Amino acid sequence: MISATLAGSLFAFALNAIFGEQATRIPMVGALPSQLPPLSVPPLSMDTLVKIAPTALANTILCLTLAIGVARSLALKTGQRIDSNQEFIGQGASNLVGSFFSSYPSTGSFNRSAANLEAGAQTPLASVFASIFLALIVLVVAPWAAFLPYAVMAGLLFLIAYGLIDVSRIRSILRTDRAESTVMLVTLLAALFLGLATSIYAGVILSLLLFLNKAAHPGIRDVKPKLIGDATNFDADTGLPDCPQLKMLRVNGSIFFGAVEHVEEAFHQVEPKHLLIVASGINVIDVSGAELLVREAKRRRALGGGLYFYFMKDAVYQFLERGNYLAVIGKENLFTPGDDVIGTLYRRLDAEICRGSNARIFPLCNVALPSGELRADTDRKAAVHWMRTQ
């Protein structure tokens, strides 16, 4: 790249010498100031802080987003692991120190980082030496920038930027996820027509909106029991019919205030009086979510049924216990792996409804009614085994 810079500068010099600057009109970078920025003390008055706070916040979001974007883009090429927290700390310290040297807000640069990568840089010392050499260039070589054409700089930047375009990953995103494809295309179009800063804001805001929309609609799937050895699992692809008295749903997602309406609507569409929630996919719950579960437990008890949970995570259990919500839901309605959840709930069903139903999805359905009465068409060996295990 240094050779290309010298070659381009010499070529522009030759064109100007042959045809004259008035004819070529090649724009040059021009001479740079050959001095370092002066030391300064940033004003920390309350009026100043209040005045610059909105701009500072916008710059912070822009700089951190840009830096993480650069890091992740290059990490895909190098296979390195990115520590976002460490990057945030480093940028904060850098900008705090820089404020005493008349610096403007700094962040990671696509072009500078890619140039380091192409040059074979392996450690952060590359940036340290780059800063030292930059200071020397500013003091010694700055006047020679007068002979550096903008076209040469543009060509180098285009070359570096072209190397950052990951065509295979773009195709993968377009094939895989419609939401991420939308974010990518919106960010690209905003960068082309509205500028880099606007494109980053547009991409971040759209990503947050799509994430919140997804979080507000946790997956709720109809599941059925599936015996694997002596353990009972719940699967959505068993092909079994619905039980007329006990509905089983798996909730995959957090139950927070933004998702309450969606989850409550799904619960109200369940016709059976008894509802079992496979809660292994519920990672987080807040007060609004806990109040929803309490309301649903009360509603189902009033209908003569109940609300039950299987495999509730410790964090969710502790939250419900601290808020005294479990006192209403009932700890006896919570089951853990290893518990005979199907056998326990089967005895709470209405025997008369089971008598006239052909939807025998539980093993006990083929042996006895919930009241304990053996079915007339049951297998004798199965009945004997069932009676011995009671």
Average pLDDT, the chain: 85
Same domain? 48 vs 11? yes
Same domain? 146 vs 192? no
CB 145 within 8 A of CB 31: yes
CATH number at residue 308: 3.30.750.24
Say if residue 35's pLDDT is above 80: no
Same domain? 202 vs 231? no
Say if residue 50's pLDDT is above 80: yes
Say if residue 163's pLDDT is above 80: no
CA distances to 26, 28, 98, 354 from 150, in Å: 8, 6, 28, 83
Same domain? 162 vs 223? no
Say if residue 19's pLDDT is above 80: yes
Q: What average pLDDT does range 132-145 have in this prediction?
A: 78
Say if residue 233's pLDDT is above 90: no
Same domain? 171 vs 197? no
- How far apart are alpha carbons 195 and 203 in whole angstroms? 12
Q: What average pLDDT does range 93-99 have in this prediction?
A: 87
Say if residue 256's pLDDT is above 90: yes
Q: Could you tell me which residues come within 8 angstroms of residue 263 by beta carbon, excluding any fewer than 6 positions away?
A: 218, 220, 251, 255, 289, 292
Say if residue 176's pLDDT is above 70: yes
Q: Could you tell me which residues come within 8 angstroms of residue 145 by beta carbon, excluding any fewer than 6 positions away?
A: 29, 30, 31, 32
Give me the pLDDT at residue 32, please. Answer: 72
**How confident is residue 378, by pLDDT bands cut at 50, 70 and 90?**
low
Same domain? 141 vs 61? yes
Give me the pLDDT at residue 382, please. Answer: 55
Say if residue 143's pLDDT is above 80: no
Residue-range definition of the domain harbouring residue 199: 176-215
Same domain? 7 vs 54? yes
Say if residue 290's pLDDT is above 80: yes
Q: What average pLDDT does range 177-199 have in this prediction?
A: 88
- How far apart are alpha carbons 60 and 75 in whole angstroms? 22
Give me the pLDDT at residue 145, please. Answer: 75
**How confident is residue 88, by pLDDT bands cut at 50, 70 and 90?**
confident
Q: Over the Cα atoms of the chain, what is R_g?
A: 33
Most confident listed range (21-30, 218-227, 322-331) = 322-331
Say if residue 52's pLDDT is above 70: yes
**How confident is residue 251, by pLDDT bands cut at 50, 70 and 90?**
very high
342's tokens: 């199907």
Same domain? 269 vs 362? yes
Q: What average pLDDT does range 209-226 have in this prediction?
A: 92
Same domain? 139 vs 157? yes
Most confident listed range (29-38, 100-109, 124-133, 270-279) = 270-279
**How confident is residue 330, by pLDDT bands cut at 50, 70 and 90?**
very high
CA distances to 284, 333, 337, 342, 343 from 320, in Å: 11, 13, 19, 24, 25
Q: What average pLDDT does range 117-145 have in this prediction?
A: 80
pTM above 0.95, yes or no: no
Q: What HEC string does the chain produce? A: CHHHHHHHHHHHHHHHHHHCHHHHCCCECCCCCCCCCCCCCCCCCHHHHHHHHHHHHHHHHHHHHHHHHHHHHHHHHHCCCCCHHHHHHHHHHHHHHHHHHCCCCCCCCHHHHHHHHHHCCCCCHHHHHHHHHHHHHHHHHHHHHHHCEHHHHHHHHHHHHHHCCCHHHHHHHHHHCHHHHHHHHHHHHHHHHCCHHHHHHHHHHHHHHHHHHHHCCCEEEECEEEEECCEEEEECCCCCCCCCCEEEEEEECCECCCCHHHHHHHHHCCCCCEEEEECCCCCCECHHHHHHHHHHHHHHHHCCCEEEEECCCHHHHHHHHHCCCHHHHCHHHEECCCCCHHHHHHCCCCHHHHHCCCCCCCHHHHCECCCCCECCCCCHHHHHHHHHHC
Same domain? 180 vs 98? no
- How far apart are alpha carbons 90 and 108 in whole angstroms? 11
Say if residue 227's pLDDT is above 80: no
Least Cα distance to 185 among 193, 168, 154 occurs for: 193
Q: What is the pLDDT of residues 336-375, one digit of tens each?
A: 988 889 889 999 999 999 888 888 888 888 788 888 787 7
Number of domains comprising the chain: 3
Say if residue 78's pLDDT is above 80: no
Give me the pLDDT at residue 113, please. Answer: 80
277's tokens: 């929630």
Q: What average pLDDT does range 129-145 have in this prediction?
A: 79
Same domain? 260 vs 314? yes
Give the range among 258-272, 297-311, 353-367, 370-384 with minimum mean pLDDT: 370-384
Same domain? 207 vs 224? no
Say if residue 115's pLDDT is above 60: yes
